[in-house]
Structure 1
Amino acid sequence: MIAVPGLLTGLALGLRGWTLAGLAPLLSYAIGGLTGPWAAAMGLPFNTLTYAIATVLFAGVAFGIRRLTVRRWPHEPAPKLWDLRGHLAIGACLVIAVVAGMYAITRGLGTLDALPQGFDAVYHGNAVRYIADTGDGSLFGTGTVNWYGDAFPVFYPNAYHLLSALIYQISGASIPATLDANMLLLPILLALALIALVREFRGRAALAGAVALVSVAPVFGIYESLTGGQLLPFALGNALTPLAAVALNRYLNRVALDTGFLMVLAAVGLLCVHSSTLFGGILFAGPLLVQRWVKNWRGIGRDLLALLPIAVVSVLVAWLQLFGALGLATSQVPYWGWPSEWRATDALGALLGFQHKLEAHPQVWMSIALLLGIVFFRKAGAMRWIGLSAGVTGLFYVVVSSDDSRLVMALSRPWWDDPWRLMTLASLALTVLAAHGLAETQAWLRDRLPWVRERFVATAALSAVVFLGFVAASNGLYAKANGDIVRTGFHQNDVAYQRVTPLEQTAIEELGKLVKPGQWVMNDRSDGSAWSYALTGVRTVAAHFDPMFPPSDADLLAKHFREYETNPAVRAAVQRLNIHWLILGRPEPGAKYSIGLQGLSDGAPFLKEVYRNQDSVIYQLNR
């Protein structure tokens, strides 16, 4: 689902090698992210058939554009950059990185079907189940699981959920396993994207190998976003963000229909994954333009003129996502942002020390590699712009982390004024600089040892010493420590802090056996029953922990459900929603049941107990 459509479209566009491997997932998300909403607008379901048809259409258009471009505007192929030995070395580094990254995530999950405990994870789980069950690929459909009826319509970019829904359908795995599998893919997606970035700017094979290794080491690069499954689409988008610079550079170096088509798909793909990802791509890749214009200020007009049709076409094909995002930004949904974390100097120290609030110790070897990257910065060549990218994204994080002013909140709204997300974005450029430091250390040693420089075997051995030395010194690219950070969001060893306990999951599974199709279940937002739809397909009155803007019937029942026998309005709402059951789980620490459900855990005359364990009880409603 994630590789093949993008590979076919990329091949049709003339992409090959590492560039194709890096861009393929982004192209797949662009295809799926556009197909779902447009199919819904035309009254068509989103399923494997429509996705396959869309893939054929996109690949066909790409093939036609490529043929037309090559025929009418021939160009010379790029000269060979890396030999076979270089490719093999990069592949070896990629394997080490992926093993370390997947080990860290698996260590954090505990099991490959662990249920994420984060606040927003339930939205993603229910959204995947909703698309799989209904085929509704619209941008507002996933929110109707919780905000139904007269509730405020909730927009959410859904490329992540669309492809995950197909994976869920085809694999037969559970929703938690589907979400976990997507997490496990992030190390390889990020490493491939950064290798493609190095390839595009003609970096050495040593840099490509180093960037693969270093990509999975920073704790705030991947792992903090996975604590509890909170930021799954954001984490995916961040892993794909470096590809914005790849597509931009290819287009501006050869303005043509085929590179323009790739540029549109890359921009739209980032937008379809998450609204903030497109803005992150602009922040990350924007400094590339500065480097181009400093070298040739006369090219500013040419570049801007070339980017104009890209912007126009992107708006036309993705206007559903753009207007949905703009509508959310100007809607009645309040925007409070997040409080500042600490002083600017502390934030800068955390960034350069690769240590956030959850980590006990700084990642010293990452800091050393970053320092080396700064020392050898003048050797960055065509990638010097990455220094400015690190400065822009890093400064943005420091400001947001230390300043709560309205201007800062407004500028950081795409990231919900969240310092954690901006730190993750800043990690991309810092990772490339750290990798540059390792690669140039290898080159510095090589150039000072003539007997090494003149022999391939000796050069390879020196590279292995530098790179594997970094792996060893960092305790396997900090895999265990990073895994422990992921674990904090799953509370595998501390049931007291789980939003959904194992016994609640057992009760939800029993609920799925009892409820007939079309019947709904009354529940409370403060316990784990909001996961019922994702786990069993059973609709509940509350399907998110978020109490904001509930449907009027849900609000009424939360306040008055215990008055069922005496309140006609309650009985009418029960009738409208076809409620036949009540499930009460264990409220999260510090929370209480809604007032309309208080006092019902021991039963009531209109309730018949059908199942109970230590954390949950299920009642059948005597209607």
Structure 2
Amino acid sequence: MTWLSTIPTFVVTMIVFFGPGLAILAAAGVRRLNLVSLAAPVSFSLASVLAVILDKVHLPFNPILYYLATVIVAAIVFLIRKLLLRRSGAADSSGFGVLASNGPIPLGPGRPRWLSPVLIATATIIPAAIVSYRYLKGFGGPNNFSQTFDNVYHLNAIRFIADTHNGSSLTIGNMTDTSAGFYPAAMHDMMALVLMQSNSTVMAVANVGTIIIGAVIWPLGCLFLITRIIGNRPVAILCAGVFSAASSGFPYLMVGFGILYPNHTAIALLPAALGLAIDFLGMSKEKSSSFWPGLLFLIAVIPGLALAHTSVIVALFGFAAPVVIARLIRSILDARSGVAGKRHLLFWFIFTVGYFLVTALVWIYVRPGLDTAPWTPIQTNARAIGEILSSAPMATTASWVLLTMTLIGLYVIVRNFKQYWWVLAIYVFGGALYLIVSAWPVGNFRTFWTGAWYNDTFRLAALLPTVTLPVVVIGAEWIFRRISASITSLRDRGLHEPGLLAPALRPIAKRLPAYSAIAVMMVLILGSGAAAQGGTLSNVQNRIGLIFQTTPTSALITSDELTILNSVAAIVPTSDVVVSNPRTGGSLVYAIANRQPLTPHIFGIRSPDEQLLLDHWDEAAYNKSVCPVITKLKAYWALDFGDSEIVPGPQTFIGLRDLMDKSAPGMQLVKEVGTARLYKVTACG
């Protein structure tokens, strides 16, 4: 399978990820950059919430109902907006109930209108091309997969939802009746919808979906966030696009570690959600018509964010806290100056108190148990601070371009402290979380602040680009605008001040268009973006390539084991169940061969029947309790992938131990490749 053959999968993925959101938001009057930036977050919310609702009413989660729900929601939104517009008596609907920066990018007098969409397209295409290239090179091929233990769950969950038409995050658990429970499944829901509509493999769907999330959804969210903080300004938008693909922390880190698909998805959605929070709180550089659009759209994207991964909701509450304080301070100043009344101040005071109470509850209770948070500090305080400033978390090579832009951005923020202090507070808060988790000693204080992320440095490192990018863009815009102004000034002075330019250069200067400085500035922006694509990102790309490579000694599935798995579909009937030690990767028989494993995930609560087979399957010839269970579950097959486990655990699955030396009676060796074997029980008749 080649990447060229996945073009239909890319098309279907774009439709699933963006189509419903585009329809619903367009019906709500959202346009241009706001429309495309928020489309995917709204689609993720629709799919994940719909999956929960359909499970409750015993209806299948499938593409037909997904698109039907899109039409219904879009129609309701359109009718409500028209009704509100009529009641308001507004003559022009273009500015009614819309977000800030909903219009075209202001490019100045004399500039053609087509430059605005071209600028947005450029700011989107550049990071999309960069991230796509690095992912394509890192993945190697469409059917390659990450050799990490999390992948057993994620790939199987995509297959499970597509097979069962049940994608409820409330019940998916570990994909068995015994282990049913909550797990954030928004990403799995969306990719399962793609799988249902494409003639593709689970691995290809996961890889294509990951590319779209990192290369398209993330940069668009960054553009949206920057327009809230800096405004709908051309230089800021272009810088945001270019530098959104320049950090090793995200999107690459979550694919090179884990593999943490849910975190990768949720963090890609985070900038858009944070931008909506800024808009709702009235702190956007350009104001919306009221706080209602920001609030309603924030409510629309939060379910998708929460059901992609709950830890990112915790991050959103934390990152938005300085904005809430800034809103309260502004309301105090407005009340003192007479711009707003005391009711306005009272509202925001009550809101702020309530917000921090809810944030405290979320921070304390939305977190995993300590038994799943084993990670310890990895470095010193000084090194952690250096990594934060240089956008080089997890001991990667410092990005000198991002370091320079960050320092300049901090300078600009200090110079304009009243305007940007809350942006600095967000940056400091995000950096402090990384400092605490990576450099502070294990204890209650560290766990309080970072327990929502399993006390894991990788997960908090991936959040740094969200809080760093605004600082970087503030610095980059400041320096590039000054370069542009200097070039324009030199040109004008050269034309009007005798002797400043050599006589031979004056005719050339006259022929230069007035906006030549803009062209130079764009070249500098693109050049700085290219310079930021240094050794750090190449190293991360190489790490992804190593993790996605299947070799004779791979950690999860070796090349011999993959050969066995690829042959299972032609041997094992579709109704039968395959037993394996889940820690050796055999459970991937579900994702790869579409045959039901006894244990779809490495972890999970086992039923008595499941545990019996995990402990005694190879005793079928002489243990009278085994065959009835084998027959009941149709678990006639077993994969023997040796005793090399991806994640050793306290529980030993001894039910396949005698297969390793071929001493178990009543077993037929059906296929053998190297040390990987497929057995069928013959002792049960």
- CA distance 1:92–1:288, change in 2 (3 Å): same
Superposed CA deviations along residues 167-218 of structure 1, whole A, max 9, x for unmatched, are 0111211001111011111122111111112233424210111011111111
User: Is 1:575 paired with 2:631?
Assistant: yes
- C-alpha deviations, 1:547-570, integer Å up to 9, x for none? x54333333333333322222333
CA change 1:29–1:617 in 2 (3 A) is same
The residue number in structure 2 matching 1:349 is: 386
Question: Which of 663, 668, 671 is equivalent to 1:611?
Answer: 671
Q: Quick check: 83-92 or 183-192, which moved more?
A: 83-92
Q: Give 1:64 deviation, angstroms.
A: 2.8
Which of the numbers 179, 199, 210 marks the counterpart of 2:227?
A: 199
Kept in 2, the 8 Å contact 1:66–1:257? The answer is no
1:423 to 436, 445, 461: 461
Give the aligned partner of residue 561 of structure 1: 617
- 1:404–1:23 distance in 2 versus 1, CA, 3 Å: same
Q: 1:231 aligns with which of 245, 250, 260?
A: 260
Residue 435 of structure 2 is matched in structure 1 by: 398
Shift of the alpha carbon at 1:587? 4.3
1:47 equivalent in alignment to 2:47: no
8 Å CA contact 1:228–1:490 kept in 2: the answer is: no
Q: For 1:382 and 1:191, locate their aligned partners in 2 and report how far apart those are by CA, in whole Å.
A: 25
Cα distance 1:255–1:82, how it changes in 2: closer, same or farther (>3 A)?
A: closer
Give the corresponding residue for 1:178: 205
Aligned to 2:151: 121
- Which region of structure 1 is more displaced relative to structure 2, 165-174 or 283-292? 283-292
**Residue in structure 1 matching 2:246, options 207, 217, 233:** 217
Query: Which residue of 387, 398, 419 corresponds with 1:362?
Result: 398
TM superposition shift of 1:223: 0.7
Secondary structure at 1:241 match in 2 = helix
More divergent stretch after superposition (594-603 vs 395-404): 594-603
Q: After superposition, what is the alpha-carbon deviation per residue over 1:63-119, rounded to whole angstroms, capped at 9, x for unaligned?
A: 233223333445956675423435423422322221111111111111122112121
Could you tell me how far apart the structure 2 residues matched to 1:521 and 1:621 are?
11
Mapped pair 1:497 → 2:554 = yes
C-alpha contact 2:642 2:660 (8 A) present in aligned 1: no
**In 2: Cα distance, 1:424 partner to 1:484 partner:** 18
Of 293, 297, 305, the residue aligned with 1:270 is 305
Does the CA-based 8 Å contact 2:273-2:316 persist in structure 1? yes
Separation in structure 1 between the aligned mates of residue 633 and residue 384 of structure 2, nearest angstrom: 49
RMSD: 3.2
Instruction: Give the gaps of 5 or more residues in structure 2.
Output: 1-15, 108-112, 283-288, 336-343, 493-512
Question: Structure 1's 174 and 453: CA in aligned 2 closer, same or farther, altered over 3 A?
Answer: farther
Distance 1:289 1:582 in 2: 57
Q: How does 1:297-308 map to 2 (within 5 A)?
A: 297=332, 301-303=346-348
Map of 2:507 onto structure 1: none
Instruction: Give structure 1 stretches of 5+ with no counterpart.
Output: 315-321
Structure 1 residues 329 and 437: CA distance shift in structure 2, 3 A: closer
The change in CA–CA distance for 1:472 and 1:152 in structure 2 (over 3 A counts) is: closer
Structure 2 equivalent of residue 595 of structure 1: 654
Residue in 1 that maps onto 2:125? 95
Which stretch of the first structure deviates more once superposed, 579-588 or 107-116? 579-588
Question: Is contact 2:33–2:120 with CA below 8 Å preserved after alignment?
Answer: no
Find 2:563's aligned residue among 506, 518, 529. 506
Letter in 2 for 1:96: I
User: C-alpha distance in 1, partners of 2:373/2:123?
Assistant: 43
Amino acid at match of 1:403: P
Of 436-445 and 58-67, deviating more is 58-67
Q: Does 1:438 align with 2:476?
A: yes
Give 1:52-63 correspondences, 5 Å limit: 52-63=67-78
| 1:153 aligned partner | 180
- Offset of residue 508 of structure 1: 1.1
Equivalent pairs, count: 608
Instruction: Report the counterpart of residue 460 of structure 1 in structure 2.
Output: 518
Pair 447,418 (structure 1): closer, same or farther in 2 beyond 3 Å: same
CA shift for structure 1 position 275: 1.0
Structure 1 counterpart of 2:224, which letter? A
Structure 1 residues 212, 301: CA separation in 2 closer, same or farther (over 3 Å shift)?
Answer: farther
How many angstroms apart in 1 are the aligned matches of 2:56 and 2:251? 34
Q: Assess if the C-alpha contact under 8 Å between 1:496 and 1:589 holds in 2.
A: no
Counterpart of 2:314 in structure 1 is: 279
Tell me the equivalent position of 1:35: 50
Is 1:537 the counterpart of 2:597? The answer is no
Look up the SS of the partner of 1:156 in the other structure. Answer: coil
Is residue 161–residue 189 contact of structure 2 (8 Å, CA) maintained in 1? Answer: yes
What secondary structure does 1:514 align onto? Answer: coil
* Equivalent residues of 1:210, 1:435 under 8 A apart: yes
Letter in 2 for 1:157: P
Task: Indicate conservation of the 8 Å contact 1:116/1:228, yes or no.
Answer: no
Secondary structure of the equivalent of 2:347? helix
2:280 is the counterpart of 1:251: yes
Shift of 1:518: 2.2
Contact in 2 for aligned 1:528/1:586 (Cα 8 Å)? no
Q: CA 1:266–1:467 in 2, change beyond 3 Å: closer, same or farther? A: same
Note if contact 2:325-2:352 (Cα within 8 Å) is conserved in structure 1.
no
Paired with 2:591 and 2:491, the residues of 1 have a C-alpha distance of 58
Q: TM-score, structure 2 length as denominator?
A: 0.82
Distance verdict in 2 for CA 1:327–1:500, change over 3 Å: farther
- Confirm whether residue 293 of structure 1 aligns to residue 328 of structure 2: yes
Change over 3 Å in CA distance of 1:64–1:444 after alignment to 2: same
Residue aligning to 1:317: none
Q: 1:180 is matched by which residue type in structure 2?
A: N
Letter in 2 for 1:191: P
Greater CA radius of gyration, 1 or 2?
2
Change (3 A) 1:310 1:345: closer
Partner of 1:107: 137
Q: TM-score of the superposition, structure 1-length normalised?
A: 0.89
CA drift of 1:618 comes to 0.8
Counterpart amino acid of residue 375 in structure 1 = Y
Deviations 1:459-501 (A, max 9, x none): 2222123212213423469653331132242245x54233112
Which of 106, 112, 116 is the aligned partner of 1:82? 106
SS in 2 for 1:139: coil
**Residue in 2 that maps onto 1:319:** none
RCO higher in structure (CA 8 A, sep ≥6): 1
| Cα distance in 2 between the residues matched to 1:590 and 1:4 | 38
Q: 1:356 to 1:196 in 2, by over 3 A?
A: closer
CA contact (8 A) 1:490 1:498 kept: no
Query: What is the aligned-residue identity percentage?
Result: 22
Aligned partner of 2:410 among 350, 368, 374: 374
Q: Are the counterparts in 1 of residues 32 and 104 from structure 2 also a CA contact under 8 Å?
A: no
Which secondary structure does the structure 1 equivalent of 2:659 belong to?
A: coil
In structure 2, distance between residues paired with 1:590 and 1:256? 50
Query: Tell me, what secondary structure is at the counterpart of 1:609?
Result: strand
State whether residues 285 and 389 of structure 1, in contact with CA within 8 Å, keep that contact through their aligned partners in structure 2: yes
Change (3 A) 1:357 1:615: farther
